[in-house]
Amino acid sequence: MAVNWTALVVFVALFLFVTVLGFVAARWRQGDLDLLHEWGLGGRRFGTFVTWFLLGGDLYTAYTFVAVPALMFGAGALGFFAVPYTIMIYPLLYLFFPRIWRIARERNCVTAADIVQSEFANRWLALAVAATGLVATMPYIALQLVGMEVVIGAMGIETSGFIGDLPLIIAFVILAAFTYTSGLRAPAMIAVVKDVLIYITVIAAIIVVPMHLGGFSNIFAAVPAAKQTLPVPPEGSLGSYSAYATLAFGSALALFLYPHSLTGILSSSSERVIRRNAAILPAYSVVLGLLALLGFMAIALGVKDNPAYADGFARYGNNFSVPALFLETFPSWFVGVAFAAIAIGALVPAAIMSIAAANTWTRNIYREFIKPTATDAEESRMAKLVSLIVKAGALVFIFALPLEYAIQLQLLGGIWMSQILPSLVLGLRWRVLNGWGLLIGWVCGMVLGSWMAYLQAFKNATYALNLFGLTIPGYAAVYALVVNIVVSVIVSLVFSAAGSSRPQTPVRIA
């Protein structure tokens, strides 16, 4: 593909603009960045408006905006599960997370593992929660590179070899620099620009592309009927129905447990801010629903049969469907805007993820197990250093390993993160649960969920469970979580009967 210079110039200009914003953010709502809660949580001072953009930029990543339409393009209606699951998470946010925010504020908690440590006084359970978050986050950061790499390649820039890797390296060096300097304030400020660009892009696409194709009726007429509905299950099986439902439900349970999601929540200024956002964040789900339809529009436009895009599909697979759709439909200058929105949509969550991982390492491994006497300034310096290492690790991850490895590990991420729900959410409400019971339940859930994924060769997150002659394909995370909860309750009751119960007075983190 020839270089699209107009799109490239617009893309670079917008990228430079958000780079400047990233460094300016250090002076926004100034605080002492030598304190971890100032650097890693923005001082817990973000109001409704900023939190809305921050969580939107955090949850709706570049990979989401590329992968969801690509899944609709390739697999059809099954890919639409991402829309109901992003709606289901907001009642959970409203019901449970204001209390989690209050506990974190009162006890000086910065991470999920901090909250667990303060509640159960069990450093090994806290370590399990911290390790789960760290392992699940790394491939998630690497996958942000996928969305960026696809749009860079779509503009005609070679993305193979060392020269091809340079744009990604430069982007992440810039990301590392302004994250180190500004902490969470940088992605919070950039998220506003990113989300405005995303809204403009999606609204334009949902108007212009149907006009180009003669309306939505023509679009749906061009999509094979088999892709417009879930396959009818065979007799004796719930088939795609149970898989779809459990994927949506399990993904909803896991999403706000990720370190980067919880970091966005804990940076809020009050419980009221979180409840307000639970009410207004579904606006992003509306956008995601419209965005998913771009996959069907790409089918109707026949982009995969266009020789001009053969190289893009050969290199990036169905992930190239959305870039091809924009290249075919819009003028070059708007293509630059749309591709910049996706690339910036990689920077924002990658920055938050690296900060969340740094907070977790520093608080729950470095300070707890390596240097308990670390001062606040040492803690902050360690977090800044680790945030750089995490970004470098993500680059090595994506360059050294085949892309499918990152995707497979990301599938495991949802299974793993679900297993901390009993400790972080249920444990705060059910006094019957104690730390050792939760830890043993976590082990059982992690082993079972990973084993189910292994049996699918890590290519599928669903597992077909056979119960009384009925086959129930479902998200492995849900099955593993049920076992986790049952084991946690039983073992906790045994420990309580033996005289070992949880602390009556929660511990404040020093």
Does 217 score more than 80 pLDDT?
yes
Which residue's entry shows tokens 């511990």?
507
Q: Based on the structure, what is the number of domains in the chain?
A: 1
Average model confidence (pLDDT) across the chain? 87
> What is the span of the domain harbouring residue 96?
5-497
Q: What is the pLDDT of residue 274?
A: 96
Q: What is the pLDDT of residue 106?
A: 92
Does 231 score more than 90 pLDDT?
no
CA nearest neighbour of 263 among 10, 39, 8: 39
Percent of the chain exceeding pLDDT 70 equals 94
Say how far apart CA 228 and CA 292 lie, in whole Å: 12
Does 462 score more than 60 pLDDT?
yes
Q: Is position 504 within any domain?
A: no
Q: Is position 385 within any domain?
A: yes
CA nearest neighbour of 266 among 58, 89, 414, 460: 58
Q: Is position 509 within any domain?
A: no
Query: Tokens in use for 248?
Result: 């949506």
Q: What is the pLDDT of residue 99?
A: 94
Say how far apart CA 402 and CA 125 lie, in whole Å: 33
Most confident of 36-40, 303-307, 439-443: 439-443
CA nearest neighbour of 421 among 450, 442, 448, 452: 442
Q: What is the mean pLDDT of residues 366-371?
A: 92
pLDDT tens, 245-275? 898 899 889 989 999 999 999 999 999 999 9
Does 81 score more than 90 pLDDT?
no
Q: What is the mean pLDDT of residues 39-67?
A: 85
Q: Is position 338 within any domain?
A: yes
pLDDT tens, 170-183? 887 888 888 888 88
Q: Is position 503 within any domain?
A: no
* CA–CA–CA angle 140, 145, 151 (5° rounding): 135
Say how far apart CA 509 and CA 506 lie, in whole Å: 10
Q: What is the pLDDT of residue 152?
A: 86
Q: List, in order, residues 6 or more apart from 442 with CB less than 8 Å away.
A: 125, 128, 129, 132, 419, 420, 422, 423, 484, 488
Q: What is the pLDDT of residue 447?
A: 96
Do 320 and 313 form a contact (C-beta atoms < 8 A)? yes
Give the Cβ contact number of residue 467 at 10 Å.
7
Query: Considering Cα of 66, then 474, then 252, then 292, what sign does the dihedral take?
Result: positive
Q: What is the pLDDT of residue 161?
A: 65
Do 194 and 348 form a contact (C-beta atoms < 8 A)? yes
Most confident of 56-65, 458-467, 481-490: 481-490
Q: Is position 78 within any domain?
A: yes
Which residue's entry shows tokens 């803690």?
379
Does 309 score more than 80 pLDDT?
yes
Do 14 and 336 form a contact (C-beta atoms < 8 A)? yes
CA nearest neighbour of 112 among 124, 120, 100: 100
Percent of the chain exceeding pLDDT 90 equals 39
Q: Is position 95 within any domain?
A: yes
Q: How many CA atoms lie within 13 A of 226 on its CB side?
A: 3
Does 406 score more than 60 pLDDT?
no
Q: What is the pLDDT of residue 500?
A: 66
β-pairing, 462-467 vs 470-475, is antiparallel
Q: What is the mean pLDDT of residues 199-224?
A: 90
Residue 167 or residue 228, greater confidence:
228
Q: Is position 368 within any domain?
A: yes
**CATH number of the domain where residue 322 is located:** 1.20.1730.10
Provide the β-strand partners of residue 46: 268
Q: What is the pLDDT of residue 146?
A: 74
Query: Tokens in use for 130?
Result: 């911290």
Range in 30-44, 317-331, 361-375, 425-439 with the lowest mean pLDDT: 30-44
